[in-house]
Amino acid sequence: MESTPLKVLFIFTAFWCSLTGLFLVVQVLRGWQVWDARRHFLPASAVVLASEVVDSTGSEGSTYAPRIRYRYRVAGRDHEGDRYDLGGGGASDDRGWSRRVVDAHPPGAEIAIWYDPRMPDNAVIACGWPRNYWFLWMFMQPFLVAGIGLIASIGVIIRWRRARRHCLAGSLVAGWTIPGWGTCAADARGLRIGGGLDTWTAVSTAGVSYGGLVFLTMFPVAFLGGGSEDVPWGRDGRVIAALLGANLAVAIGVGIAVYRRSSIALLVIDERERRVTLRSRHGSLEAPWSAIDAWRVQRTATTDDGTTTYSYAVTLTAAGRAPLVALTTGSAEVAVHVAGKLAAATASPCFAEPRGDGQVART
């Protein structure tokens, strides 16, 4: 049963990444086409034969594109073309832009065009980046980040499930790995667990921040003209690149801040002195085993859109102080197993037993 959500996530990820990958391939091919044209196309003079704005009406409204026919001569032979740019004409809902292009290329006017010497019939008027090219790169960023996040999530889930199986089959000895906490290490006095920093939380936070910032940035960019030639980023990617770079820098800064604050609790079990030390971002506690009141598993319910999920915290209570959280996990089995092993290692009571409904009952 537990594999069903993973299968659903895998199918959704495959669909999402296939669709996003298709757009990515198209966008990369468009970029390669421009790069190739800038390397090989040569300039030539042409005469405009006809020019007009072509409108097409569909279910989503009308789109407009400039249609300009021109004649040019290469190696003593006449050729005709009607491509405005490498994007195929730039059909959009911006009638004003199409009209300005047509007005700038009236019939009979002599204009400059670019042609491919390898295929002289292939020519364009504007041998630059197509309209909306750089804006589409910005538009794709949240989808790319989401795709990477979905793939990473599948990997994390698979790894976590494998680690959970090993955890439930293990004991509190050196080399025992607890998912979400770390691997037990032995020293001269006893065992220590955790004490590192939560890299996954920091990376995922940075990714979500970047995707969200780019998503919010798109609105003012689109409102100010999107990919129109009338704005600085219409055919020049430097402005879009600067905006994406700024968003990335902010996201990395957020990730670093989270990384520095997301310390994993450090537990030291001193078998020689028979003492336990627990340090986390919530506080610290140090006491002899005899002063330990109990290791407990506390359940917390979170409801979102009608769906309730549970998290389980392994806490330590000692010397009459408030409970201090050592580990938080989404698995009741892991929490109960870890709490029991810690209690056994410190000769302390443990209040943690899962019931059939998934709740944690006191024993």
DSSP 188-224: SSEEEEE-SB-HHHHHHHHHHHHHHHHHHHHHHHHHT
Distance between CA atoms of residues 167 and 156, nearest Å: 16
pLDDT above 90 (res 260): no
Q: Cα–Cα distance between 207 and 146 in angstroms, integer?
A: 8
The per-residue pLDDT for 122 is 92
DSSP letter at 83 equals: -
Distance CA 28, CA 9 (A): 27
**262 and 202 in contact (C-beta within 8 Å)?**
yes
Q: What is the pLDDT of residue 236?
A: 64
Residue 180 has pLDDT above 60, yes or no: yes
Considering the domain 266-361, what is its CATH architecture?
Answer: Roll (2.30)
pLDDT band at 363 (very low <50, low <70, confident <90, very high): very low
Asked if pLDDT for residue 50 goes beyond 50, the answer is: yes
Please say if the pLDDT value at position 232 is more than 80: no
Enter the tokens of residue 35: 């790069």
Nearest of 288, 312, 281 to residue 299 by alpha carbon:
312
C-beta neighbour count of 34 within 10 angstroms: 18
334 pLDDT exceeds 90?
yes
The pLDDT value recorded for residue 88 is: 60
**What is this structure's pTM?**
0.75
Q: For 28, phi and psi rounded to 5 degrees?
A: -65, -40
Question: How confident is the model over 237-263, as a mean pLDDT?
Answer: 88
pLDDT of 3 above 70: no
Average pLDDT, the chain: 86
Has residue 184 got a pLDDT over 80?
Answer: yes
Question: Which tops the pLDDT comparison, 229 or 320?
Answer: 320
Q: What is the pLDDT of residue 231?
A: 54
Angle among Cα 14, 252, 156 to the nearest 5 degrees reads 35
**pLDDT band at residue 207 under the 50/70/90 scheme:** very high
Q: What pLDDT, in 10s, does the model give residues 80-105? A: 999 888 876 566 667 787 888 899 99
Q: Which two tokens stand for residue 255?
A: 């990730």
Rounded mean pLDDT, 290-317: 88
Give the start-to-end residue ranges of the domains of the chain.
42-126, 133-261, 266-361
- Where residue 133 falls among pLDDT bands split at 50, 70, 90? confident
Tokens of 97: 């832009």
Which tokens hold the place of 44?
């030539």
- Give the CA distances from residue 254 to residues 201, 213, 259, in Å, rounded to whole numbers and listed in that order: 11, 12, 8
Angle between helical axes of 133-168 and 199-223 (0-180°, round to 10):
160
pLDDT band for position 25 (cuts 50, 70, 90): very high
Most confident of 13-17, 186-190, 225-229: 13-17
Average pLDDT over residues 293-305: 87
Q: DSSP letter for 189, please.
A: S
Q: How confident is the model at residue 12 (pLDDT cuts 50, 70, 90)?
A: very high
